[in-house]
Amino acid sequence: MKRIGFLSFGHWSPNSQSATRSARDVLLQSIDLAVAAEELGADGAYFRVHHFARQLASPFPLLAAIGARTQRIEIGTGVIDMRYENPFYMVEDAGAADLIAGSRLQLGISRGSPEQVIDGWRHFGYAPPEGASDADLGRRHAEVFLDLLSGKGFAQPNPRPMFPNPPGLLRLEPHSEGLRERIWWGSASDATAIWAAQQGMNLQSSTLKADETGEPFHIQQARQIRRYRQAWTEAGHARTPRVSVSRSIFPLASDRDRAYFGRGGDSDRVGIIDTMRAVFGRSYVAEPERLIEQLRADEAIAEADTLLLTVPNQLGVAYNAHILETLLTQVAPALGWR
C-alpha cells in the first residue's frame, strides 16, 4: 500500500488560457481540488509555498480551510521556506490548523528554493548571523520550531495575569499533540537527508536533487532514501519514519490528455540551481499500460511510502481530478499501490 497525493504549486496568471486568473481563484480551487481528491480516494493534498510570486504563499489559512471541508485526507506542504518564518508564530498557526483538521497536517519544511527576489527573507526581518549562510538560518528556525512543538513550557508566567494560568512554565497555545511527528524536511542532498533523520523528521524528496554521482535521478534518490533510513536507525528513534517522493505523471487516456501532454515524457536533465549542480527527474507521459512499465522501474518510488503527483493547477479542478482518477484507477492498482 502506498499513499498517493497531489502537490500543487498554486500558479495563477491573468492569461485568458488559465483557469486560475487570480489569487482568489487559486485559493478556492485548491480547496475544491482537495475535496475532490478525497472523494476519489486520494490520500493527500499538498501545496508548495513561494514568496514574492503569483503562487501560494501563506499556507495556514488554506490548510485550515481544507481541514474544515474534508474528513480524511492528509493536508500538507512541500515545502515551507523556514528562512522566512517566525518559529513562535508558526507554532501557533500550525497548532490551530492541525486542530481544525483533526490532526491531519503533514508539514513539509526546508531551507527553500531559489527566490523571486534577492535575499527575500531580509524583507521579512531575518538574516543569518555573521559567518553563517541562509541555509544555516533556515535550519536554525527549523530547530526552534521543532523544539516548540514538543509542548514543553518555557515562559515565566506573570504573577498577576489577566487570566488564570495553569501551574508551571507556559507554552505556546494552541498545542496540537502529535504534530511534532508529522513534520517533514525537504532535502536536495544526501547530507541534509541524514540531518533530517537525526532531527527526527520525515523526508520529502522532490523532482530534483544534488547530482552527487552522475547516475540517473531515480537511482541517486533511492540511495538518498536508504541513507536517510540508515541514519534514522542509528539515531535510535522509536517510530518508523515516512518518506515521500514527487513525480510529474500524466496518463494519456483521452484526446484532451494527448493535446496537452501528447509529446511524451522526457529524460533526466542536469542544470545549475543556486550554484549547485542538480539532476532533474524525468516526467512520465504515456498511455496507462506504458506508464505502468515505466513507473515499475523507478527505484525511488519503490523505496518511498508516499507519492506526490505534481498537478497543472492552471488547467482547473475538473481536469486535475481527471488526472488523479486515471492514476488511481488505471495505474496504481496494477503497481500494487492500492
Concatenated DSSP letters for 86-122?
Answer: -HHHHHHHHHHHHHHHTS-EEEEEES----SSTTHHH
Residue 265 has pLDDT above 80, yes or no: no
Res. 113 pLDDT band, cuts 50 70 90: confident
pLDDT, average across residues 297-319: 97
Q: How far is CA 86 from the centre of its chain?
A: 19
User: Angle, to 10 degrees, between the axis of helix 23-40 and the axis of helix 59-69?
Assistant: 40
Give CA angle at 31 (28, 35), nearest 5°.
Answer: 140
pLDDT, average across residues 174-188: 97
Q: CB 32: neighbour CB atoms within 10 A?
A: 17
E strands within the chain?
A: 3-8, 44-47, 74-81, 105-110, 183-186, 202-205, 208-210, 243-247, 249-251, 269-273, 276-280, 284-286, 306-310
Give the pLDDT score at 115: 86
Res. 89 pLDDT band, cuts 50 70 90: very high
pLDDT 10s digits, 269-294: 888 887 889 889 999 999 999 999 99
**Amino acid letter, residue 9:** F
Give the pLDDT score at 266: 81
Cβ-contact 232, 291 below 8 angstroms: no
Q: What distance in Å separates the CA atoms of residue 281 and residue 87, rounded to the nearest whole number?
A: 32
Give the pLDDT score at 275: 80
Burial of 136 (0-12, 13-18, 19+ CB in 10 A): middle
Report residue 153: phi and psi, to 5°.
-70, 145
Give the pLDDT score at 225: 98
Give the pLDDT score at 73: 98
pLDDT, average across residues 66-84: 98
In sequence order, which residues have a C-beta less than 8 Å from that of residue 296 and are 6 or more positions away?
Answer: 335
Going by C-alpha positions, the residue among 51, 45, 91, 48 that lies closest to residue 66 is 45
Give the pLDDT score at 15: 93
Give the pLDDT score at 77: 98
Residue 119 has pLDDT above 80, yes or no: yes
Res. 327 pLDDT band, cuts 50 70 90: very high
pLDDT 10s digits, 124-177: 999 999 999 999 999 999 999 999 999 999 999 999 999 999 999 999 999 999
Q: Which residues lie across from 244 on neighbouring strands?
A: 204, 306
Cβ-contact 206, 129 below 8 angstroms: no
Instruction: Kindly report the average pLDDT of the chain as a whole number.
Output: 96
Give the pLDDT score at 263: 79
Going by C-alpha positions, the residue among 302, 143, 307, 297 that lies closest to residue 226 is 302
Give the pLDDT score at 112: 83
Res. 338 pLDDT band, cuts 50 70 90: confident
Give the pLDDT score at 126: 97
